[in-house]
Amino acid sequence: MTELKSLQNHFLIAMPSLEDPYFSRSITYICEHNGEGAMGIVINQPSNMTLKELLEQTDKDAQFSDDTAEQIILAGGPVGQERGFVLHTDQGEWSSSLTLAPGIVVTTSKDILSAIGHKDGPDSALIALGYAGWEAGQLEHEMQENAWLTIEADTDILFQTPIHKKWQAAVQKLGIDVWQLTPGVGHA
């Protein structure tokens, strides 16, 4: 049996042929990948919620600045949509954080939300509700079926590229034009 190559700190780029409405043209940041499965956060699917609305639900006394109130919360995946995840640069100390790669941290405690609302949070942060999960071998099978392309994560795409341009930016980083991606790619 071949050794599993971990895709932690990689992007999964949905192929155009992937028609699942949740993952269509999605880009997922892989937080964890091992023999037991994989977990990631979709970084280019906006939810219909803003930071202000999320803070009002999680902390009745929350305060926020006007320019952070309208920050879009991402739909991070179809699993655990009541759970929040903040992908961010590595400034600050939060109650529940895990460093995923140099300069990339995930925090699941709500203390970071009010800090972001007050502009006291990390320089760059994505807030998502829910995550994408794969059982052991499931992601590898989907990759063999040409559902996904992968590249090493890029902090510019992760934090600086606008939500609606992330998928195309990741595809271009592969050195492929979007029109070159066809459903039959990789079948010999």
Asked, for residue 156, whether it belongs to a domain, the answer is yes
Give the domain range for residue 171: 10-180
- Bigger pLDDT: 16 or 122? 122
pLDDT for residue 3 is more than 60 = no
Which domain CATH number covers 19?
A: 3.40.1740.10
Q: How many CB atoms lie within 10 A of CB 127?
A: 25
Q: What is the pLDDT of residue 183?
A: 54
Asked, for residue 167, whether it belongs to a domain, the answer is yes
Asked, for residue 27, whether it belongs to a domain, the answer is yes
The total of structural domains in the chain comes to 1
Q: What confidence category does residue 180 fall into, taking pLDDT thresholds of 50, 70 and 90?
A: low
- Taking the C-alpha atoms of residue 146 and residue 109, their distance in angstroms, rounded to an integer, is 35
Q: What is the pLDDT of residue 179?
A: 67
Asked, for residue 39, whether it belongs to a domain, the answer is yes
Contact 150, 91 (CB under 8 A): no
pLDDT tens profile 35-53: 999 999 999 999 999 988 8
pLDDT for residue 1 is more than 60 = no
Asked, for residue 68, whether it belongs to a domain, the answer is yes
Question: Mean pLDDT, to the nearest integer, of 59-81?
Answer: 83
Nearest CA among 39, 50, 40 for reference residue 127: 50
Best-predicted range by mean pLDDT (11-15, 58-62, 66-70, 119-123): 11-15
- Read off the pTM: 0.90
Asked, for residue 147, whether it belongs to a domain, the answer is yes
Asked, for residue 1, whether it belongs to a domain, the answer is no
Q: What confidence category does residue 187 fall into, taking pLDDT thresholds of 50, 70 and 90?
A: very low
